[in-house]
Structure 1
Amino acid sequence: MRVMDIVLITTVIASLFLIIGAAEPLSVRLRLPYTVILAALGILIGSGAIFFLRTNLTDALNPVAEAILALPIRSNVFLYVFLPTLLFQATLGMNLRRMLDDWVPIIVLAVVAVIVATLSVGYALSWATSLPLAACLLIGAIVSTTDPSAVVSIFRSISAPRRLSRIIEGESLLNDAAAIALFGLFMSFVMVGVPNPQLGGALAQFPFLIIGGALTGWLAARIAASIMALFSSHELALISVSVALPYLAYIGAEQIVGASGVIAVVAAGITLNLAGPGRFPPQSWVNLREVWDLLAHWAGALIFILAALLIPRLLEGVELSDFILIGVVVIAAVAARALMLYGLLPLLSLLRVSPVVERPYRTAILWGGLRGAVTLALALAVTESILVPAEVKRLVGILATGFTLFTLLVQGSTLRLVIKWLGLDRLSPIDQAMSRQVVAVALQTVRENVARTTDEYALTRDVVRTEAKRFGSRLDEAVNNAEGSDDILDRDRVTLGLIALAGFERDMILQKVRERTISARMAEQTLLDADRLIEGARVGGRSGYQRAARQSVAYGRALRSAVALHARFGLSSPLVRMTADRFERLLSQRLILRDLDVFIDGRIRRIHGRRIAAMLRNLLSRRIEMVETGLDGLRLQYPGYAEELERRFIRRTTLRLEEREYVSMREDGLIGEEVFTTLMQDLTKRRAAAEGRPSLDITLKRLELVRQFPLFADLDDKAVRQLDRALKFRYVSPDDIIVGKGNPTKNVFFIASGAVKLQSAGQTWWLGRGEMFGQVSILMKNARRAQAHAIAPTTLLVLDIGRFRALLNKSAALQNAVRESGEKRGIDPEVLLGDVKRTA
């Protein structure tokens, strides 16, 4: 390549970045989607280059036009260079733990929607044209995938519910893989000179494409994460490895394994997203995410502009009849998407595997199903193949390009009008009333701060008086508007207050992570809890918030499975890790919750009033009580471990304060850069040592727990050891049924931590730590059996009937406890104890 060619191509590429920079403010000014502006600019540039080459108006611009048209725009450039960047950044930016909660609707929409759209477009075209069915289905697969960036930007612009946004974002991300897989299947049937594959064998390849791609991406990400962990103190090296990961995963899956490269990139991004926050320094992880946001912005913009440059060439040779076929594709694709939105989504909501999607949102999704660069890249791959018949290539290029233009120029340009017509750009009456109150409170706070500033700086009184008068009129107007907002129900105020409180809690978690007060590993868990609180309050109000709060301290399925593995097979490592995580998670929650009172008193009380603030403070107190109950149970089981974690927290805090002092001294010029670097290197070493979590030995603490139990205080060492071997642990979440009414009672339960509600014969008792239940049903054979369920996270010690009777004969303390329990229920203690041997 000549030097002048390199100069021209470099100039063209640099000019494209200028266009990318100008497109975003232009889209805001014209109130059009960013992708529509990029596509329009790309079409203008491509059309202009062809125009100048084919006319004699000027020859001076011919080299520039040739350089534009000579850009190496091939389908492989889109699929191997730009697509991995977009997919990888999308997975890094997702809240994957929340998205996993909705994996059923995401997978169904991502796979079923693509299949339905492919079949709908394919059979509609086969009816309208003479093309073979395989070629029609190929076109259907090409146009079936929506553009992720366009879909996500739509939902951000209309402030859609978070769960709905996650589902649509996950669907738009994964449907690329389904569409590309179907594209490869039908492409093999269309190519001439290639043995036609068997449909059954081709379909049987699908599981391998998915599983092989997922395993390839997971393995690549695990290797990359290990390498990045070695480079954790070198941020630029860590980020550089992350840049290589998606490309190597994509190429390895496609070229070596023969699986789906898209799935490999998504799996690699998911794996790194889950592992990264706990393995890399917090600031390095934040900077890595920022680098990927920039790379994805450039890649998304370039892929749209470069794809749009191809549109004039792909539409060459278009005929009048082709416009009818484009209309067929548009109608079939829109009808397939409408079937998903108005048929499948309501069905999933009815089955409670998907959130209820309001009709206006479904209409916005329907009209917002923009196609983009992936559709054009797949169409380009067909037109580049020498094995595809010429008529098929011509129609694929025209129909895919025409449909993409329709979605971008017609749907994209009218999308804001549709959103406005649906009323999705307007606040609800409650939000409008709340905004008026927020403005009034904010202006009052501003007035107080300005008054202090005036006194501090001794400003001119006339100037202050003039500005105060003008500001006062605005404040009076805001107060009058706020006074007209008394129609907000207390229930709605509580909901809005809880959403604000959970949002502030999330901000506090992020601040503690930046300060390294809590670990990044725990930050991920606590942020997940905060997101659930926000969504629970938004959907279910106070009850939804309380349900999410109980879930944050409950024993989950994973922990219960770990308990079962430890009890049945002696596998203790999962239980050790999860119990230590639970310890640290509860300590982190307690640390955050202690700071929320200030927010309630300072902000929420001024907006919602004293009564609402008191209600929220009461809900917060219940949450703190649940966390303390969980911590008390763990402290009782594993004494001393909480203190070790608290010492670790203090060491982290002292290191953070020490770092702050060094930074302040450097900024004040008290120490030079060399001294500062030396001090920070020493601090980094001590911080790495302080980050290590103390080990938890679950096998040595059972005996101490039994010894500390009040009911076993009078047993000798031998009896305590025998009892330790006989007792079984059981962890119970709130509202779990421990003993069902009418079920035979085979055990006696001792409450190590937590609380239990006992109901029998129309009476109710609340039992706490150190008490027992089940003994009445065992000792009185004709007694009505009670129902017991946990009202807090509870740890129980379980003893069978035979061992309980033997223990009762030995322990005076246990006999006294049985006697007291009988008296509480109006049962003669002597009848309860019966033939039990009395212990002096």
Structure 2
Amino acid sequence: MDIILITTIIAALFLVLGLAEPLAAKLRLPYIVILAVLGILIGASALLILAIDYVDVLNPVAEAILALPIRSNVFLYVFLPTLVFQVTLGLNLRRMADDWVPILVMAVIAVLVATLTVGYALSWVTTLPLAVCLLIGSIISTTDPSAVVGVFRSISAPRRLARMIEGESLLNDAAAIALFGVFIELVMAGVPDPTFSSALGRFPMLLFGGVLVGWVAARVAVWLMTLVKSYEMAQISISVALPYLAFIGAEQTIGASGVIAVVVAAMTLQLSGPGRLPPSAWQNLREVWDLLAHWAGALIFILAALLIPRVMEDIRLTDFFLICVVVVAAIVARAIILYGLLPMLTALRLSPVVEQPYRVAMMWGGLRGAVTLALALAVTESVYVPVDVKRVVGIVATGFALFTLLVQGTTLRWMITWLRLDKLSPLDLALSNQVIAVALQTVREDLATTTENYALTHDTVRKEAKRFGARLDDAVKAAEDNAEILDRDRITLGLIALAGAERDTILRLFRERTISSRLSDRILSEADRLIEAARNNGRTGYQRAARRSIAYGPTFQLALLLHNRLHISVPLALITADRFELLISQRLVLRDLHGFIDGRIRRIHGRRVAELLHELLNRRMEAVEKALEGLRLQYPGYAEELERRFIRRTALRLEEREYDHLLHDGLIGEELHTELAQDIAKRRHSAEHRPKLDLAVQKAALVRQFPLFSDMDDRALRRLGRALVTRYVNAGEIIMRRENTARSVFFIASGAVELETAHQKWRLGRGEMFGQMAILMQRPRRTEGRAIAPTTLLVLDETRFLRLLRRSLPLQEAVLESAAKRGIDPELLEVVTQQAAE
């Protein structure tokens, strides 16, 4: 085909893409539906031109359109990696984690249920082999990422609903394509009744192989990006290569799922990229990917739609019946999951509640598109599939995809409206009215100042002020109409606004490089969780989310296990360093929010609400300070190192801003400004490096702080530090149990421990020891020890403790003092202590 003609057709398709978006907005239809209709019209027009004689002059164009090299591998290897990668890159992974159970159920189990339901439904009403029916089921079981994301981002769908649908559409491609590969092999081999053991046996390799390839590819890409940190275009180019190499590497080298590899690669890049790349480079990378995905999503739809007239030109009346059977079976399969399995998981407390309107929207929002058409096209291209099977698969799959696009896609906006999912809640409506009223009051004050500064004509000012005043009166009246809601829920509204301001502050500090890009996504995710918690559960939800933001999570528990049991300390050191930085950043953000309460919330919600929010904010700051102080006690000096790093980064930001002002005012030239900016970039690279947390060094510093070891010289302290084992325990964890044989003595470096015997309880804090009595009295323990706060312990075994007791007078005095507090005969214990010392 002539290259000029191909270039002209591609340019014309881009022109169609540019006109389709405003057309979709004007008709209030999803963009992808317009693209599908235009593609069908173009494909049908090409066929019509070739069929009639009096427009022969257009035959070369029609032949070129129909001869475009549109193959299934073009969709799967060119467009699909781009779409999957960009959608994953744009997802809030930490917020999706809150709904990971329903997402995985819809992405994996729903695909299996849809495949089986559609397959067996077709086998009951046709004479097709079961393998062919299941093949059709696997083709139509996958929702299309570009279709789903495009529709749900074009309508006012709630973010949680959009997250679940987008997560499902991303992950179910891998399951559906895997099932498709199994059943197409069975069809080509002529196996009429397949066994599912062979199909399911491939899933471990597909899943874990894809995860491995995607992770390795992303880690290599991030490493390469850090090597060329000063070249943004090079970093973006590496990111463009990443999804294709991951997809091809997984599919062609080890037979794993290319979609899973791309998803994992994008997740890995999203989690590690912001911490390794400059903020501006990361922002530009995201913008480039948004553009690439927009083009890929639009082209994949319009090119797939071009094929529809050719696939459907041989349709028969019986095919309409099969399409109807598939439609009904697919809806039934989706209903089984949404109304059967998900409520069961919720009842078992394995999944959050998915509300009824959400389930209805999810059932109707399972759109099929280019992925379904590409898989059907792969069947029609195979020379090993019988001709009659090719025809049925192509027509049924294409017909079902058309139904989801032209019926479900065009009515989904109406469905969202009917379910009232696009309406503001009473809280949001009350907040918007009140905020608009206060904003317009502020605008009126600023407008009065502006008119004075510019000495505008009095009559003009009076007329415009009258018009603006009428709008302000309407806004105030609307706010007053919601007085009842505001009286009842103004605290919740204030908390939502406060959490939103917290999110904006985080973004500002990230752009200014005051907050590390390494943790920016995590801190933003916590702010999003605060907003949703306040919206759903008011003050209680906000406080619960605030406590969760500084709590120790399951990864910390795993790191503790590795450190305490296997003496693997690297994960614990990394997580603890992240926690240090997170708490310091939270303290910085929270201190900025008091001004927002006084400047904004007080004007909107009144003095009483503002005072309550100040109190809640002070409690959060106290909790952060307490957690930070606990870390300071555990790791002396490390917090100061991070604070010094923060001061250096702030100074560089202020210096950079001052040079920009000097350039803007014409006081320095471009050449000098460039030289100064390069010098700041070099110093910033050094300041961005976070100091390493060395647990061994920190343990030695902890030992020196114990009064019990004050009489020991540096050499003895170093030996003791090597002998002591650091153990971290969470609040509520049992440290020692009754009747156990005493083998160790515990020294509290930070935190608090409660000891309990049959008759009494007492608490110990930092610098104290416990567990020594049973060793000295040579009897099983009669005391149970439990941590009542996150606690760091230094553990010394029996032999070394007795050896230390012989040499340390302060330790002997501490043992006697502890015995006196617990009612043990001091004379008897002194004799025992002396015997142990000897």
TM-score, normalization by structure 1: 0.89
* Counterpart Cα distance in 2 of 1:795 and 1:490: 47
Partner of 1:435: 432
Counterpart of 1:512 (choices 509, 512, 515) is 509
Distance change in 2, residues 1:402/1:751 (3 Å): same
Counterpart of 2:663 (choices 653, 661, 666) is 666
* Counterpart Cα distance in 1 of 2:809 and 2:615: 45
* 1:698 to 2:695 alignment: yes
Partner of 1:226: 223
* 1:382 to 2:379 alignment: yes
* 1:677 to 2:688 alignment: no
Alignment of 1:730-745 (within 5 A): 730-733=727-730, 736-738=732-734
Amino acid at match of 1:117: A
* 1:617 to 2:604 alignment: no
Q: Secondary structure at the match of 2:528?
A: helix
Counterpart of 2:473 (choices 466, 476, 481) is 476
Amino acid at match of 1:433: A
Instruction: Compute the displacement of 1:180 (Å).
Output: 0.9
* Counterpart Cα distance in 2 of 1:690 and 1:504: 28
8 Å Cα contact 1:522-1:588 kept in structure 2: no
Counterpart of 2:306 (choices 298, 301, 309) is 309
- 1:719-773 deviations in whole A, cap 9, x for unaligned? 977875776544344x535579999897887654456789999999997656788
8 Å Cα contact 1:375-1:400 kept in structure 2: yes
* Counterpart Cα distance in 1 of 2:320 and 2:216: 47
Instruction: Compute the displacement of 1:836 (Å).
Output: 4.5
* Counterpart Cα distance in 2 of 1:309 and 1:633: 64
Counterpart of 1:632 (choices 622, 629, 650) is 629
8 Å Cα contact 1:163-1:355 kept in structure 2: no
Amino acid at match of 1:80: Y
* Counterpart Cα distance in 2 of 1:736 and 1:157: 48
* Counterpart Cα distance in 1 of 2:387 and 2:260: 32
Partner of 1:259: 256
Instruction: Compute the displacement of 1:714 (Å).
Output: 7.6
Distance change in 2, residues 1:479/1:491 (3 Å): closer
Q: Secondary structure at the match of 1:232?
A: coil
Instruction: Compute the displacement of 1:525 (Å).
Output: 3.1
Alignment of 1:334-349 (within 5 A): 334-349=331-346
- 1:202-226 deviations in whole A, cap 9, x for unaligned? 4422322222222222222222222
Counterpart of 1:458 (choices 450, 455, 473) is 455
* Counterpart Cα distance in 1 of 2:312 and 2:151: 28
Instruction: Compute the displacement of 1:273 (Å).
Output: 2.0
Distance change in 2, residues 1:217/1:590 (3 Å): same
Q: Secondary structure at the match of 1:731?
A: strand
Which runs of no fewer than 5 residues in structure 2 stay unpaired?
Answer: 834-838
Distance change in 2, residues 1:268/1:57 (3 Å): same
Partner of 2:123: 126
Partner of 2:109: 112
Instruction: Compute the displacement of 1:660 (Å).
Output: 2.0
- 1:343-397 deviations in whole A, cap 9, x for unaligned? 1111222222322111111111111111110011111111122221111111111
- 1:286-319 deviations in whole A, cap 9, x for unaligned? 1111111110000000111111111111111111
- 1:780-808 deviations in whole A, cap 9, x for unaligned? 999997896535x4445567999699699
* Counterpart Cα distance in 2 of 1:173 and 1:581: 30
* Counterpart Cα distance in 1 of 2:327 and 2:97: 33
Q: Secondary structure at the match of 1:191?
A: helix
Counterpart of 1:139 (choices 136, 140, 145) is 136
- 1:148-186 deviations in whole A, cap 9, x for unaligned? 233334544665554554333222101111111111111
* 1:790 to 2:769 alignment: no
- 1:441-475 deviations in whole A, cap 9, x for unaligned? 11122122212222222222222222222222222
* Counterpart Cα distance in 2 of 1:483 and 1:786: 60
* Counterpart Cα distance in 2 of 1:410 and 1:668: 59
* Counterpart Cα distance in 2 of 1:504 and 1:39: 41
* Counterpart Cα distance in 2 of 1:172 and 1:395: 25
8 Å Cα contact 1:590-1:624 kept in structure 2: yes
8 Å Cα contact 1:314-1:398 kept in structure 2: yes
* 1:178 to 2:175 alignment: yes
Which deviates the most, 572-581 or 414-423? 572-581
Partner of 2:96: 99
* Counterpart Cα distance in 1 of 2:97 and 2:553: 15
Instruction: Compute the displacement of 1:197 (Å).
Output: 8.7
Q: Secondary structure at the match of 1:501?
A: helix
* Counterpart Cα distance in 1 of 2:641 and 2:455: 53
Which deviates the most, 802-811 or 161-170? 802-811
Partner of 1:396: 393
- 1:562-614 deviations in whole A, cap 9, x for unaligned? 34434444433333333322222222222222211112222222222222222
* Counterpart Cα distance in 2 of 1:798 and 1:708: 15
Instruction: Compute the displacement of 1:101 (Å).
Output: 5.1
8 Å Cα contact 2:129-2:192 kept in structure 1: no
Distance change in 2, residues 1:135/1:168 (3 Å): same
8 Å Cα contact 2:709-2:810 kept in structure 1: no
Amino acid at match of 2:60: P
* Counterpart Cα distance in 2 of 1:616 and 1:311: 59
Partner of 1:331: 328
Distance change in 2, residues 1:494/1:796 (3 Å): farther
8 Å Cα contact 2:751-2:766 kept in structure 1: yes
Amino acid at match of 2:441: Q
Counterpart of 1:534 (choices 520, 523, 531) is 531
Amino acid at match of 1:375: T
8 Å Cα contact 2:739-2:780 kept in structure 1: no
Counterpart of 2:573 (choices 564, 568, 576) is 576
* 1:586 to 2:583 alignment: yes
Which deviates the most, 107-116 or 76-85? 107-116
* Counterpart Cα distance in 2 of 1:603 and 1:779: 64
Amino acid at match of 1:132: P
Amino acid at match of 1:49: A
Partner of 1:825: none
Which deviates the most, 86-95 or 662-671? 662-671
* Counterpart Cα distance in 2 of 1:143 and 1:819: 75
* Counterpart Cα distance in 2 of 1:22 and 1:718: 79
Amino acid at match of 2:438: V
* Counterpart Cα distance in 2 of 1:581 and 1:811: 36
Distance change in 2, residues 1:59/1:185 (3 Å): same
User: Cα RMSD between the aligned structures?
Assistant: 3.6
Partner of 1:552: 549
Instruction: Compute the displacement of 1:281 (Å).
Output: 1.7
8 Å Cα contact 2:72-2:375 kept in structure 1: yes
Partner of 2:291: 294
8 Å Cα contact 1:42-1:309 kept in structure 2: yes
* Counterpart Cα distance in 2 of 1:158 and 1:352: 31
Q: Secondary structure at the match of 1:701?
A: helix
* Counterpart Cα distance in 1 of 2:460 and 2:758: 78
Q: Secondary structure at the match of 1:666?
A: helix
8 Å Cα contact 1:739-1:745 kept in structure 2: no
Which deviates the most, 427-436 or 719-728? 719-728
8 Å Cα contact 1:162-1:535 kept in structure 2: no
* Counterpart Cα distance in 2 of 1:288 and 1:418: 35
Amino acid at match of 1:731: Y
Amino acid at match of 1:270: M
Q: Secondary structure at the match of 1:127?
A: helix
8 Å Cα contact 2:816-2:830 kept in structure 1: no
TM-score, normalization by structure 2: 0.89
Amino acid at match of 1:171: E
8 Å Cα contact 2:492-2:534 kept in structure 1: yes
Which deviates the most, 361-370 or 185-194? 185-194
